[in-house]
Structures are given as structure tokens and as C-alpha cells.
Amino acid sequence: MKKSILFAGVGGQGVITAANIVANAALKQGENVITSELHGMAQRGGDVKCAVRIGDVYSSIIPPGTADAIISFEPMEALRNLNVVSEDGVIITDINPIIPPLVSIGIGEYPPVEDIISRMEKKCRVMAIDADSIARKAGNILTKNVVMIGAANAAGVLGIEKENILKAIKEMLKEKYVEMNIKAFEMGEESVSKYL
Amino acid sequence: MILLEKNRKAVLLGNEAIARGALEAGMDFGTTYPGTPSSEIADSISAMARYMKNNGIEPPFYFEYSTNEKVAIEMAAAAAISGLRTLTCMKHVGVNVASDAIMTYAYVGCNGGHVIVTADDPSAHSSQNEQDNRRFAKFANLPLLEPSNPAEAKEMTIEAFNISEELKLPVLLRTTTRVSHMRGVVELNEYPMEKRKGDFKPGDYVTVPEVARKLHPVLLEKMERAMEMAEKSKFNFIEDFGGSYGIITSGASYNYVREAIDDLGIKAKILKLGFSYPVPEKLIMDFLNNVEKVIVVEELEPFMEEEIRVMAQKNGITTPIYGKGFGRFTPLYEYSPQVVYPTLAQFFEIEYELKEDAVEATPRPPVLCPGCPHRATYYAVKKVAGDDAIYPTDIGCYTLGLLPPYKTADFLLCMGSSVGSGGGFALTNEKKKIISFIGDSTFFHAGLPALVNAVHHNHNFVIAILDNSTTAMTGHQPHPGNSIDGMGNEAVKIDIERVVRGIGVKHVEVVNPYNMKKTIEAFRRAIEFDGLAVVILKAPCILLDLRRRKRKIVFEVDQDKCTGCDVCINEFACPAFYREGDKIKINESLCTGCGYCVQVCPEKAIRRKK
């Protein structure tokens, strides 16, 4: 068994933490798991990606065209990594663009979100959710990464028992934020119900 | 704290696994200078020490963030020669700084085990070059271990201490970004808690020429014994998946090879080298004799390939050897399945189609954070010196001044080079203004000797010391300008202004960069000054400052006053600003409330949101 999930987003959105929660949940389920991430220069508002691979895996980089899912915290970042996902895979993306500062000063363009989504739909299934709004409703924009995990799990791309994810959340997040994040997880689960 | 738990499995970063390995091996003494991708090794050790102290437990080791990598090695060498187990970690280019010490340290050797971690950065994700530090193992004559994943990183760290102690020679443990920043499942075993003391006994440790000549053959003899150990090491093993072709590989490359075996259905014999220098000659020759042809899969330099070719020639073995130049294998950039799969398919003569549908996506390079004091500094400097000046820069977040619209970075070699090169530019480009930028941690690391040079020779340029009171880019490690050290102990805070004045700089000003007018005036006076001038820009890193704040302050654009002149976006370029239709707005979740934009806006159209 092999499962490959790419978490993508912008530095500061909690992408690496999300991947780390999923990795720990996989271990709690008794699975072998590896992840890859980049730190340092790659963190200052730049694009961030973090692969989570579960099962008989060795490479921390997902071979192109083989990922079961892309979980993206920003639409352009889903598109940037389209090469990684399999045609049988699924993309779950947030719909709120973060315009790169270079675009603001006239270097490059940011296409309409609908165009980005239809470009991706040519390759595989896409589930688009407003994770920013959901996270705010859950209590804090910073719970967005857990909203995305909830959505991914409800869509069946993680293959991990909910109970193990909740255990990982409890172990890894500060106690005072746990309740809010569990709410965010469950709201994330609901958010993709229209696609299922 | 997971890193201190026992008898369980945990998902650890490669770097955390190294720190854990050091703990389990009974490390007595640890030193570092932070640098990506090595930083989390030392940060984990620092966190363990502080956690123990907070819980009333005396840590079983001493640890420090040293001023630079050379000092880190010298500190640790003294502990190791006194019989203690020591760990020193740094990024690949840090070894260049430490190399003056390391080259002779190999002659002198150690008594307690000393593991030197070099974290290399193929593809230069966060570095100024992608040098291959396996060359240092051969250059200095040090044994080399290369883990492929976090579990191996922990085991090899423990074994490296044993090898070092047996040979009385420091051992290099080399990771790459993809190993240091890979998470994987690691067993957490028991670790000792007793604190040991050093016991220095004089010996042949003073490398005057006579002693150096005596120690050099001793070093070569140690490396012969290291080769024998590599021949038998459990980290050097063969996996037989059938067929008659061979693969020799190490480090992260092994992971791509091993997975290709399953994904591509390759039949091959893999020789995986974990104890990879000295390259075990007998093991390699036996392997070459048992395969029809072999391919060496290694990132960057053809390090193993060259060793293997020389050995094959020496032993009269004619098995064809493939490596760099075959398929997609070059000395450039990190390997990945994208590089390794098609190349192995070609070598094994099997059908494989790589799915490479490249997608156009707008680039999103890293930028200075909203509220970063460096942005304020650059904005003010550009007002005074414009595009005509030469801006030597240095290693840190502020290197991002390279990007438009600031473009305040013209030349960079290494840590401290802004100050050294500033004098060179001033003497050779007389009509230009020279303004060098250097951060506080970098100033202590390598700026000081260059500053002494500039003062002594009366060079005429401006040094801007960007003092945000931390080592920001690598994760906010303390430095000599802080009053708390890496163990959480009180430390002597070294005042940059007093240092600069003490060395003899005649024109020194300290300003708060968030005050635009005063900063502009300070730079104007510094540029006009005939001689070396130093401006110290003192304001904490915004990320640290935000953690200390209780209330969130944000600013907004008064749409009645805004004329859409775009100065805030085109010249100041804070990422919190964005256009919506013909309006300019501030993204509240990005705004850090620094308020600098209020000074920038010519229409006074920005105000604090109530």
C-alpha cells in the first residue's frame, strides 16, 4: 500500500503543521510514514509544499503524476503542483487567493480563481472550499490547516481513522486551542459533503 | 516533550533524529552556528536543555550557539580532546568557515568521540551555493557517514560517536536538505543522564612542523583502519532484487532508487553505502565482479564514482561504470524521482514514461514579512542613495532586499562579505556611494575582522548594521547580542554600538528604522561623512515582536483620501497591501500594525483601524 498526499500553500498558513498532524495520526494507526518539507528561505511568504507518504515508501518526494491528492491552502498553489497529482486523484483547494507581492507591483498575473479551477478540472476531480470562512467560523483563521485536514479526511484521501487524527491534534497543539481545532476539523469534514 | 520520551516510536525530522541520537549516545558537549538545513539539530538540543531546566533537571550536556562555525569546532575540539563526547553541527558552507580548524584537527585527533554534522543543500534551496561536502571527508581525511532517512540519521549519529572514539578521529555525518527535513518513524530508546567532566592530559597536540610531520602518517594509518571498519559496517549493505545489473548509491538518492525498484519493476542488485568514506574497496570490487554493469546514483559531485573508477582501474576490473553524464545524471541540483526514474529506465532498458505536464503558475518567491524593519531601512536608504549606489549585502533575511522594488543587494559571497567587499568597492569605484548591509548575528560571525580592516585602512563607505536582536532567517536563535544563551542561561550581552566605537569608527549613529525621517537623516549624514560610517538600525524582528504583543493593531486605507498613487504598493511594497478593482486595501490578517506606511503615504490616507 502506498498513499501520497501533497500539502501546498503559502509560508505562514500552517502547511507544515497540517502535514505533521497527518503524519503523526498515520503513526498512531500503525502505518509507516514519511514527509518532506523545506525550511529557511523557503518560509518567508514564499510557496510551501510538504509531501506526506504512507505505507511502503522511501522517497520523500512524490514521483510526478502519482499523488492521490493535493490539499492546497491557496488556489494558485494547487495549480503550481498539478504535475504531482494522478489523473485518478483529487485536489481539495481553498478558494481565497493570496496575491504574490510581485503581482501587485506588476510582475506576473493572478488569473481568476474560476479559471484556475477549470484548468485543474481538466486533469482530475477538484473540490473547492472556502476554508478561510470556515476557519473564522470555527474561531480563528489559524485553524484553517485543520479545516483542510477535516475536508481531506471526509473526502477519503487520508485513509486514517478520525479518532487517530483527533489524538494527534490533542498531542501536538497547545491545550487551549484543541477544542477550537476539533470544531474546525468537523466543519472541514462537512465542507466537502456536497462533493461526496 | 516528545524528544525526551522513551520506549516509543515518534515521527521525527531527520535533524531531530540526529539530536536524539546524540542524546542517546551520551553527548556531553554540543556546539553550533545555525544554518539551514542544519538548524533544527541544535534547536532541538537547545529545546531539550531548556525543557529539562524548567523541570528542575540538570541537563547531561553543555550546549551553545557559538559565534561562528570555526569557534564551534575549536570549543568542541577542546572538550573532545579532554575525553568528552561532542557534537558540532553546521550547514555545508559553515564547514568552509570551520575548515581552518578541521584540517589540522584531523591530525591532532580527539579522545572522546566527536561528530561533526555537515548539512548540505543540493539545489541551494536556502544557500549561496550547492557545494558537496563529501569532498571535505577526502580533503581532511575524516570518515564519512551518510544517512538516508531519520531512523538511519539517529542510528548513524550513535555509531559515529563509536567510530570516532575507536579511531580517535572526528567523524563527519553528512545530511542533505531532503534527509534533514524529512520526517520519518524513529524508535526512542533509553539515554544516560549523568553529567561527565573532561580530563585533559597533555600529548602531541601542538602542531609545530615537527609534530605535524609526525601526526600526518598517524592520520593516514587511522584512515586505513577506517576503511576496514567501512568494509564491515552494517550501514554498507547489498539488497538483491535479481537481475545482473548493479546500482551503487548513498544518502537521499538511495530512497529514489529503492522506490524505483517497486514502481518500475527493476531487477537489480543495490549496494547502499552509509559509511561512504573511505569507500570500502573490497566490498566495491566484489560487487563489480558480480554484476555486468553498474550505475552510480549520487547527487552533486561524482564523488563515489571517481573513487570507484580509480579502484576498478587499480584492480584491473573492467565492469562498465555509469554515472554523471548518463541520462539525467549531472552534478547539478538535487536528485528526485523525476531525475532518477527515467535514467534508471534507460540503464535497465525498460519502458517508462515520466508524466511531466509542466504547469504555468505565477512565481511566489519569499519576501520580507509585513512589518519587517529591514523593509523600512531599505525604503529610507533608497530615498537617500537611490539606484546609483553599490549595495554589498550579506547572509540573512535582508538578502531579500535583492528583489524589486528595493533592489538594495548588489554583491554577496558569504557571511561577512558585505563589510570586506565594501572597502574594496570604495577604493575601486570612487564616484559611487557604497552602502553595505549586515545583520547582527552575521556581524558577530564574520563582520568583525572586516570592520577592523576597514577602520585600520581608513576605507570610505557606509556600513548599515541591521540589528533585529536575533538570528532571524534560521529560526530566531540567540547570538552574542542577546542576554539569554542556548541553554536558557543568562549571558553577557555584547553591545554592537560599543564594539564599533571601540574599534575606532568615528561616525556611528543608532536609529530606530521605523522612524523614516530620522533614518533618512542618519543615512544622509553617514554618506556625507568622509571616512567609514556605521549606522545601526535597531528594531526587533517583527515575528518576535508580534509574539510579545497583547493586542493586535491594524491599519486601513481611508478611501476618501487615497488617490491611488501606488507609492505604498510600488515603492514600499508591503505584502499586506493589495488592489481590489481601482482601490488599494490592506489585508488585515497580514498587517502587523508597524505603521510605517503612514509615513510613506503622501496623501496621509492610512490610519489606525479602531
Q: Return the residue matching grid coordinates 549585502.
A: B393
A106 Cα to chain B: minimum distance (Å): 8
Sheet holding A125-129, edge to edge: A125-129, A85-94, A67-72, A2-10, A47-55, A33-36, B182-188, B8-13
Contact A63 B338 (CB under 8 A): yes
**Closest CB to B569 among A34, A83, A104:** A104
pLDDT value for A40: 56
Query: Of how many residues is chain B composed?
Result: 610
A24 Cα to chain B: minimum distance (Å): 6
Euclidean distance between CA atoms A15 and A101, whole angstroms: 20
Q: Are strands B507-511 and B533-538 parallel, antiparallel or unpaired?
A: parallel
B551 Cα to chain A: minimum distance (Å): 15
Neighbouring CB atoms inside 10 A of B554's CB total: 17
At B90, which amino acid appears? M
**Closest CB to B363 among A11, A108, A171:** A108
Pair B459, B426: CB distance under 8 Å: yes
At B450, which amino acid appears? A
CA B243 to chain centre: 41
**C-alpha cell read off for B28:** 556531553
- Within a domain: residue A103? no
Contacts of A59 in chain B (CB under 8 A): 255-256, 258-259, 336-337
Contact residues for B103 (Cβ-Cβ < 8 A; gap 6+): B139, B140
DSSP state letters, B408-471: ---B--STTHHHHHHHHHHHH-TTS-BEEEEEHHHIIIIIHHHHHHHHHTT---EEEEEE-SSB
Pair B533, B463: CB distance under 8 Å: yes
CA B319 to chain centre: 39
Neighbouring CB atoms inside 10 A of B278's CB total: 22
CA B261 to chain centre: 32
R_g of chain A, CA atoms, integer Å: 16
Interface of B with A in 457-486 (CB under 8 A): 473-475
- Cα-based torsion angle of the residue sequence B413, B417, B420, B422 in order, rounded to the nearest 10 degrees: 80
- Within a domain: residue A20? yes
CB of B346 within 8 Å of any CB in chain A? Answer: no
pLDDT band at B418 (very low <50, low <70, confident <90, very high): very high
Burial of B240 (0-12, 13-18, 19+ CB in 10 A): exposed
R_g of chain B, CA atoms, integer Å: 27
Q: Are strands B269-273 and B236-240 parallel, antiparallel or unpaired?
A: antiparallel
Query: Of how many residues is chain A composed?
Result: 196
CB of B319 within 8 Å of any CB in chain A? Answer: no
Test mutation, A36, A44, A164, chain B, max B CBs within 10 A: A44
The tally of CA atoms less than 13 A away on the side-chain side of residue B559 is 8
**C-alpha cell read off for B164:** 570516532
φ, ψ at B132 (rounded to 5°): -100, 105
CA B4 to chain centre: 25
Contacts of A45 in chain B (CB under 8 A): 364, 366-367, 369, 575
Euclidean distance between CA atoms A126 and A191, whole angstroms: 13
CB of B184 within 8 Å of any CB in chain A? Answer: yes
Instruction: Look up the ipTM and state it.
Output: 0.96
**Domains of chain B, earliest start first:** 2-232 (3.40.50.970), 236-347 (3.40.50.920), 373-543 (3.40.50.970), 555-608 (3.30.70.20)
**What's chain B's average pLDDT?**
96
Euclidean distance between CA atoms B415 and B441, whole angstroms: 10
Euclidean distance between CA atoms B111 and A117, whole angstroms: 62
Q: Give the model confidence (pLDDT) of B500-559 as tens digits.
A: 999 999 999 999 999 999 999 999 999 999 999 999 999 999 999 988 888 889 999 999
Pair B126, A39: CB distance under 8 Å: yes
- Within a domain: residue A45? yes
Contacts of B177 in chain A (CB under 8 A): 38
H or E element: which one contains A122?
A: none
**Closest CB to A105 among B255, B337, B404:** B404
Q: Look at residues A16, A76, A45, A109 and name the one whose alpha carbon lies nearest to residue B576.
A: A45
Burial of B376 (0-12, 13-18, 19+ CB in 10 A): buried
Pair B285, B335: CB distance under 8 Å: no
**C-alpha cell read off for B576:** 499586506
The number of domains in chain A is 1
Q: Give the model confidence (pLDDT) of B189-234 as tens digits.
A: 999 999 999 999 999 999 999 999 999 999 999 999 999 999 999 9
* Tens-binned pLDDT, residue by residue, of chain A (196 aa): 899 999 999 988 999 999 999 999 999 999 999 999 876 555 567 899 999 999 999 999 999 999 999 999 999 999 999 999 999 999 999 999 998 888 888 888 899 999 999 999 999 999 999 999 999 999 999 999 999 999 999 999 999 999 999 999 999 999 999 999 999 999 999 999 999 8
A42 Cα to chain B: minimum distance (Å): 6
- Within a domain: residue A107? no
- Within a domain: residue A104? no
H or E element: which one contains B115?
A: strand B114-120
Euclidean distance between CA atoms B326 and B330, whole angstroms: 8
Test mutation, B126, B180, B183, B552, chain A, max A CBs within 10 A: B183
Query: B278: cis peptide before it, omega within 30°?
Result: yes
Test mutation, A1, A60, A115, A160, chain B, max B CBs within 10 A: A60
pLDDT value for A39: 66
Contact A58 B256 (CB under 8 A): yes
- Within a domain: residue A129? yes
Neighbouring CB atoms inside 10 A of B255's CB total: 26
Q: What is the DSSP letter of A108?
A: S
Euclidean distance between CA atoms B182 and B154, whole angstroms: 13
Interface of B with A in 393-452 (CB under 8 A): 397, 400, 403-405
- Within a domain: residue A106? no
B573 Cα to chain A: minimum distance (Å): 7
pLDDT at B264 over 90: yes
**C-alpha cell read off for A124:** 482530475
Taking CA–CA distances from B342, the nearest residue in chain A reads A63
Euclidean distance between CA atoms B231 and B226, whole angstroms: 9
CATH number at residue A45: 3.40.920.10
B56 Cα to chain A: minimum distance (Å): 22
Taking CA–CA distances from A50, the nearest residue in chain B reads B182
B218: left (phi over 0), alpha (psi -120 to 50) or beta: alpha
Contact residues for B373 (Cβ-Cβ < 8 A; gap 6+): B466, B468, B513, B514, B537, B539, B540, B541, B542, B594
Contact A39 B362 (CB under 8 A): no
Using DSSP, state whether B599 is helix, strand or coil: helix
CB of B208 within 8 Å of any CB in chain A? Answer: no
- Within a domain: residue A76? yes
Using DSSP, state whether A80 is helix, strand or coil: helix
0.95 cut: is pTM over it? yes
DSSP state letters, B81-113: HTT--EEEEEEHHHHHHHHHHHHHHHHH--SS-
Neighbouring CB atoms inside 10 A of A174's CB total: 7
pLDDT at B434 over 90: yes
Number of A to B CB contacts under 8 A, please give it: 168
φ, ψ at B402 (rounded to 5°): -55, -35
Euclidean distance between CA atoms A43 and B492, whole angstroms: 31
Q: Which domain holds residue A145?
A: 2-98+112-195
Contact A27 B184 (CB under 8 A): no
Euclidean distance between CA atoms B91 and B121, whole angstroms: 8
